[in-house]
């Protein structure tokens, strides 16, 4: 009997790209608030999703250092399961609900790539880095304190897609004053068969479900952001017209389910 | 209007993980014939696929240096589209037809990973290397000639999964005397929704269609092969009980379609 | 006027592998105490260094997630300057002084490789990972608390050289009860010229000088450790005969100078 | 007795970054002729080296896919010894001799990095790719034939430093009509000791000695080249003012010695 939540399916299920849910995550995050061309945001939205006119093109670029575990101490195998990620969340509306939509996301690990595709995150491989905050005091420590500077970047195939820097100014007591929209994504798996190529078997708008979502140690400050044009990518269509605040925080949640908002194949 | 053969879907379709078919490939290959435990091969076969009793567990481990292009000169962007691959083909039978089945495959590029999943190749990320044959004479050149030695290896997450070495003995005029079985794979995309998690939306047995398949410069020789046990992988269940010949050759084909042999969701 | 602390030397000095000292470092560390074959330790010691007979082959394998900065906010360019490292420290004596000697070290960044060679650390490239401790509570967070489990590994060229796991048991108030020996290294740069190949221009025993050395948040617990044999490496000659305690802590220091203990070229 | 041509020095000498000479190399190469600002070239030349006024800033940017072997079949361990490289050669004069000088070079392997430093090549880590020419006919094969297009790129720390494309027009019978200058480099190893930091122990102008240099299958054609400005690099100071021809060829040589042209420490 073959087992595995994903391929490769095997007798013991040990080769699968990712263990089955529940998937537990904890991370350190940098997020930069900014405004892109509202028409560029609108052009990336899937059917049924509309621009949030109040947002005026508001987006966040996130960088995340993630630790993952399933139910078998996967966190003690960091070579296989620890990873880094960067994505854009663009503000939009779906059936009246204020949401974020994720049009671009990069990750440096295949287990995370697989879990992403299964939820609808359009993950590609990238190389992602962010300044970390270390406990031992030093000019290199970047503590969570006023004046600390953090940098972050994402590259794909050796080309820099985004570079950000922030400088901390103040702690924010209540994270929900900053982050409160749920995240929607496009779950999509194509068909190669020539006769039905225009009928992808999986084509849905989904809502990311984050159990026990916790945000701690939120700091805000000033920010810089560049999204240069790179051949073979369209993320620069969401380049910043104006940059807002930068945030640094830690976040955790678990994934056990997925909500299908709309099935485009129906 | 959003475009792209895969996610991310964008207005211009330039961000998609892979350009749409036709997909053209040319490669240098090493393949090692060997025999695994027939019960281990049988345990990996999908429903409807049966062991080829005449094969006695015969497998080939392949290593491939690939160049890919679509219709827009992608071969001139090697940072994005050139890649390396390793996989096992195990001999089996489906409805009386002598076939190969691919239970394990590793690749070092996300465009190739995506194309693989779409066809049914259960690709994971790996680091793959093979000795190359260079034109300029040198002790380092490894020419296609009697006595030349080639090595190859595949690692995942920093652990060596397979190591092979071959030494060339003779050119083989007719490649079809060695390679003649079509390749079958399991196309599979899971469902995360809790209520239907046991009903994957895509679950098919497929047949890889290789237009204009060409094999040239085939040499055969002696071979060594190790598939050590690695935590988090089950490929070592197909470790060699006996090693046959080693082959070195070049291969090209194009992909424009996929044949569905069996739909397990029906 | 060409500038740079290292090559490449350029008009502005911006291309050099590393900025000039002072070099500031902060890190999260895992270290596993163990005992290797005392004869194997002795066989790796440079001239003038003798085994510490009381140590009975005692070594520590360290894993470090490092953040580096020079004087120009290098910590905000983590893609270039953040790195991971693993090394062995073996206990020995030099002119009566109880010291550590570093025979093997791996790092994943070229600036760190260069700084290491300049001090005497015999750095090679590797892929290093350790479980991190995150602030947001989750099964994936690995907090600094009794019962937390951490894993770490180092690989080179796709082969696993060492794998370790620890489980925290208790905080240690005074780090100097565990870590108190200074570190010695062999600074060595070979000569290629055929006529003088046996006369390396740089061949010294040096003492690593760590200004403002700080160790905080030290925890101890149980440990497991494997150092498998790998072709092309000799680190497995220091494989554990007995494993002691595992430690998890944070450490910072600065480097501005180097002490030459012995010049072997004299 | 400790052994090894480089660190780490060990009882068997197996851990050293590189085996001792002779070092044998065979490669596939792309080289783009171009003209940089002559003042920028002059600003990079070491003491005693002067601009070649006839050259008017002429440079070549090379991309190389290398296979290396020492005396122990290292070519069959490609994960450890196969590598890719990119460098600039700028035309200059030393004591009346027409030479090339190498101010910038990137490589993706630590054994090659070490061998480079020992000769004087100022190697840093990079990610390098070039289109390959495969034997099996396909739109992806890039044969050595009129009209074939090749691309190449080098990135460091996720930033693209150079991108090139060429299109083959004609075979060149005699490679010495294109490549005939010997290559000079700056062999340099710094001192960290505070009191003597301005006295590097190794500081020489050297001449690369290439035994049995062979160039075969030389083709020439049109070329494009970009060297964008990247923070933390100065290679863009040699960006092209004018681009000449592009070349594709194979090259082999062995290294057994090094000539010291000038000792700057004397």
Residues making up chain A, counted from first to last: 266
The CA angle C171-C177-C181, to the nearest 5 degrees, is 130
Q: How far is A221 from chain B (nearest CA, A)?
A: 31
Residues making up chain C, counted from first to last: 266
Contact B67 D152 (CB under 8 A): no
C-alpha to C-alpha distance for B152 and D1, rounded to whole angstroms:
33
Quick count: other Cβ atoms within 10 Å of Cβ D20?
Answer: 17
The answer to whether B54 contacts chain D (CB < 8 Å) is no
Residue ranges for chain A with pLDDT beneath 70 = none
Sign of the alpha-carbon torsion through D71, D75, D80, D83: positive
Backbone angles phi, psi at A236, to 5 degrees: -65, -15
Chain D residues touching B150 at Cβ < 8 A:
76
Buried b (16+ CB within 10 A) or exposed e, D44-55: bbbeebebbeeb
CA distances from A266 to A203, A204, A205, B189, B194 (A): 9, 9, 12, 18, 20
C-alpha to C-alpha distance for D119 and D102, rounded to whole angstroms:
12
C-alpha to C-alpha distance for A22 and A222, rounded to whole angstroms:
36
In a domain, A1, yes or no: no
Selected for mutation to probe chain B from C155, C157, C158 (highest B CB count within 10 Å) is C158
Chain B residues touching C160 at Cβ < 8 A:
158-160
From the list B132, B138, B250, which residue is nearest D136 (CB)?
Answer: B250
Residue B11: band (very low, low, confident or very high) from pLDDT cuts 50, 70, 90:
very high
Q: How far is A7 from chain B (nearest CA, A)?
A: 5
What residues does D26 pair with on adjacent strands? D67, D252
Residue C266 has pLDDT above 90, yes or no: no
Q: What is the CATH number of the domain that holds D190?
A: 2.40.400.10
The answer to whether B65 contacts chain D (CB < 8 Å) is yes
CA-based nearest residue in chain A for residue B186 = A7
The subunits that touch chain D, with at least 3 C-beta pairs less than 8 Å apart, are A, B, C
pLDDT single digits (tens) A168-197: 999 999 999 999 999 999 999 999 999 999
pLDDT recorded at residue D158 = 97
Q: How far is A155 from chain D (nearest CA, A)?
A: 5
pLDDT recorded at residue C165 = 98
Residue D156 has pLDDT above 90, yes or no: yes
Q: Helices in C4-158 by DSSP H: which ranges?
A: 38-44, 78-81, 110-119
Quick count: other Cβ atoms within 10 Å of Cβ D231?
Answer: 11
Q: How far is B54 from chain A (nearest CA, A)?
A: 23
In a domain, D12, yes or no: no
- Chain centroid to CA B208: how far? 11
In a domain, C41, yes or no: yes
DSSP assignment letter at B140: T
pLDDT single digits (tens) D220-252: 999 999 999 999 999 999 999 999 999 999 999
Contact B138 D76 (CB under 8 A): no
Q: Which residue reads 């061949």 in tokens?
A: C203
In a domain, C84, yes or no: yes
Q: How far is D134 from chain B (nearest CA, A)?
A: 6
Number of domains into which chain A is organized: 1
The answer to whether A150 contacts chain C (CB < 8 Å) is yes
| CB contact residues (below 8 A), chain D span 236-255, against chain B | 250-254
pLDDT, averaged across chain D:
97
| Two structure tokens written together for D12 | 């068997």
Residue D266 has pLDDT above 90, yes or no: no
Residue B266: band (very low, low, confident or very high) from pLDDT cuts 50, 70, 90:
confident
Contact D134 B77 (CB under 8 A): no
Q: Are A215 and A179 in contact (CB under 8 A)?
A: yes
Backbone angles phi, psi at D257, to 5 degrees: -160, 170
Contact B140 D73 (CB under 8 A): no
In a domain, D250, yes or no: yes
Residue C1 has pLDDT above 90, yes or no: no
Using alpha carbons, select from B112, B130, B127 the residue that is nearest to residue B159: B127
In a domain, C16, yes or no: no
Using alpha carbons, select from D202, D161, D210 the residue that is nearest to residue D184: D210
pLDDT recorded at residue A1 = 86
pLDDT single digits (tens) C190-206: 999 999 999 999 999 99
Contact A155 D155 (CB under 8 A): yes
The CA angle B143-B144-B147, to the nearest 5 degrees, is 85
The answer to whether D153 contacts chain A (CB < 8 Å) is yes
Quick count: other Cβ atoms within 10 Å of Cβ D122?
Answer: 25
C-alpha to C-alpha distance for A108 and C1, rounded to whole angstroms:
41
The answer to whether D131 contacts chain A (CB < 8 Å) is no
The answer to whether B155 contacts chain C (CB < 8 Å) is yes
Contact D140 B78 (CB under 8 A): no
In a domain, D123, yes or no: yes
In a domain, C13, yes or no: no
pLDDT, averaged across chain C:
97
Q: Going by C-beta distance under 8 Å and a sequence separation of 6 or more, which residues neighbour residue D260?
A: C193, D187, D204, D205, D206, D207
The answer to whether D73 contacts chain B (CB < 8 Å) is yes
Q: Is D80 exposed, middle or buried (0-12, 13-18, 19+ CB in 10 A)?
A: buried
pLDDT recorded at residue B33 = 98
| Two structure tokens written together for A157 | 């195939």
Contact A142 C24 (CB under 8 A): no
Residue B140: which domain range? 25-263
pLDDT recorded at residue D86 = 98
């Amino acid at each position: 009997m073959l087992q595995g939540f994903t391929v490769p399916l095997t007798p013991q299920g040990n080769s699968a790209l990712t263990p089955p849910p529940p998937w537990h995550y904890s991370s350190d995050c940098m997020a930069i608030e900014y405004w892109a061309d509202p028409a560029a945001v609108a052009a990336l939205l899937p059917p049924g999703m509309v621009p949030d006119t109040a947002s005026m093109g508001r987006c966040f670029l996130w960088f995340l250092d993630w630790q993952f575990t399933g139910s078998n101490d996967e966190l003690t195998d960091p070579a296989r399961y620890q990873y880094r990620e960067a994505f854009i969340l663009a503000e939009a509306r779906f059936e009246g609900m204020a949401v974020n939509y994720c049009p671009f996301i990069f990750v440096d690990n295949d287990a995370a790539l697989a879990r992403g595709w299964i939820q609808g995150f359009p993950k590609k491989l990238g190389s992602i880095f962010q300044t970390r905050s270390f406990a031992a005091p030093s000019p290199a420590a970047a503590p969570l304190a006023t004046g600390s500077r953090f940098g972050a970047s994402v590259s794909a195939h050796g080309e820099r897609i985004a570079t950000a820097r922030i400088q901390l100014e103040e702690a924010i007591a209540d994270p929900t004053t900053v982050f409160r929209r749920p995240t929607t994504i496009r779950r999509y798996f194509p068909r190669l068969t020539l006769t039905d190529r225009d009928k992808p078997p999986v084509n849905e708008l989904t809502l990311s479900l984050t159990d026990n979502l916790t945000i701690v140690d939120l700091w805000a400050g000033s920010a810089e952001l560049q999204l240069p044009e790179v051949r073979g990518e369209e993320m620069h269509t969401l380049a910043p017209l104006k940059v807002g605040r930068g945030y640094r925080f830690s976040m955790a949640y678990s994934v056990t389910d997925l909500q299908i908002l709309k099935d485009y194949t129906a």
